[in-house]
């Protein structure tokens, strides 16, 4: 299988049929083999019935389903597990991006063999947006700007679902997220393991049918937590230096009072300045400890990757050994 397209769906009865038709239409001239894996994430409308009907009529379509809504992260993980393509693409059910961009993904991966992930980016030069609600667009744009500062690779759009992965990348990651933060988790772990990422400009369009699953509080919180997790010195460094700076300024003021003879012995301002300076140093030390934890996390990810690869080699060896033994057994029985 050359390509797998994973589409998570939750209450997408209005979009399901049209989405699959448009994705199939984008591959009218595609010469390779592909599959469309739709994941019904516990929908309580007629999404599953529609998907089952489409599956029975199209050999390229596979349906994965479970009864309880568990979030986009779980849906994508289930889809990734079932995918068989060498390239795996994830796309949203409302087709906020034109599926024709998938061909651009494939072209980018074919042209540059050292690229492991390709991201659709509306916020990079050449990209754009159409019909996206202003509040959602503002949150998304500024969230990605903050994340771009936190990311080592200065990625313009790190929160989008529309991406293409080489299958080996997904196979090397142990993913845990259940919600939309899975996009950040994949990117963070992939970069920590040294995989290369490429962005291509794309146009993000607002949803036309169905209800948006966007949640302001959860989205904003996940962006902030991820930024802190990736670059803890952003917070600890800022707070530590700010506290030390205030303490130092108060110290200068105390020195001024001392030389002008206006300083009163035992004034609590002296103790306050010392506490600020010592507290700032302590906060900075927390930042350095957090940096060590981030470095340790990267080492753990590398070990996990090696363990996964070793496990696959062992399973592959066992399968080959069983295949070699089986013919002999058949001959004896005969």
In order, the DSSP letters of 67-92 are SS---HHHHHHHHHHH---SEEEE--
Q: What is the mean pLDDT of the chain?
A: 84
The span from the first CA to the last CA of the chain, in angstroms, equals 36
pLDDT at 310: 78
pLDDT band, very low/low/confident/very high, at 152 (cuts 50, 70, 90): low
Least confident residue range of 89-103, 265-279, 282-296: 282-296
pLDDT at 132: 86
Contact 49, 9 (CB under 8 A): no
pLDDT at 219: 63
pLDDT band, very low/low/confident/very high, at 329 (cuts 50, 70, 90): very low
Residue 317 has pLDDT above 80, yes or no: no
The angle subtended at Cα 10 by Cα 7 and Cα 13, nearest 5°, is 90
pLDDT band, very low/low/confident/very high, at 211 (cuts 50, 70, 90): low
Burial tier of 22 (Cβ tally within 10 Å: 0-12, 13-18, 19+): middle
Q: Report which of residues 250 and 305 the model is more confident about.
A: 250
The two most distant CA atoms of the chain are separated, in Å, by: 110
pTM over cut 0.85: no
- Residues 48-67 have pLDDT tens digits of 999 999 999 999 999 999 99
What mean pLDDT do residues 172-176 have? 86
pLDDT at 8: 95
Tell me which residue of 285, 110, 104 sits closest to 201, measured CA to CA. Answer: 104
């Amino acid at each position: 299988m050359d390509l797998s397209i994973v589409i998570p769906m939750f209450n997408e009865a209005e979009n399901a049929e049209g989405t699959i038709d448009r994705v199939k239409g984008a591959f009218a001239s595609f010469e390779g083999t592909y599959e469309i894996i739709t994941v019904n994430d516990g929908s309580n409308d007629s999404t599953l019935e529609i998907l089952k009907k489409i599956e029975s009529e199209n050999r390229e379509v596979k349906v994965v389903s479970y009864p309880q809504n568990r979030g986009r992260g779980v849906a994508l993980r289930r889809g990734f597990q079932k995918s068989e393509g060498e390239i795996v693409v994830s796309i949203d059910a409302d087709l906020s991006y034109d599926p024709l961009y998938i061909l651009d993904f494939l072209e980018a991966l074919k042209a540059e063999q050292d690229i492991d992930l390709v991201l659709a980016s509306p916020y990079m030069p050449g990209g754009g947006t159409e019909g996206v609600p202003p509040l959602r667009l503002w949150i998304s744009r500024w969230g990605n700007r903050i994340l771009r500062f936190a990311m080592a690779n200065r990625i313009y759009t790190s929160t989008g679902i529309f991406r293409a992965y080489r299958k080996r990348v997904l196979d090397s990651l142990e993913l845990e997220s259940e919600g939309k933060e899975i996009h950040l988790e994949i990117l963070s772990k992939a970069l920590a393991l040294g995989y290369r990422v490429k962005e291509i400009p794309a146009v993000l369009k607002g949803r036309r049918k169905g209800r948006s699953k966007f949640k302001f509080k959860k989205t904003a919180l996940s962006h902030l937590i991820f930024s802190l997790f990736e670059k803890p010195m952003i917070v600890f460094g800022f707070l530590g230096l700010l506290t030390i700076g205030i303490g130092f300024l108060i110290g200068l003021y105390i020195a001024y009072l001392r030389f002008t003879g206006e300083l009163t012995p035992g004034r609590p301002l002296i103790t306050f300045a010392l506490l600020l300076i010592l507290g700032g140093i302590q906060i900075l030390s927390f930042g350095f400890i957090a940096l060590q934890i981030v470095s340790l996390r990267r080492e753990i990810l590398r070990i996990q990757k090696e363990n996964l690869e070793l496990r696959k080699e062992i399973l592959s060896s066992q399968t080959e050994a069983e295949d070699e033994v089986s013919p002999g057994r058949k001959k004896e029985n005969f």
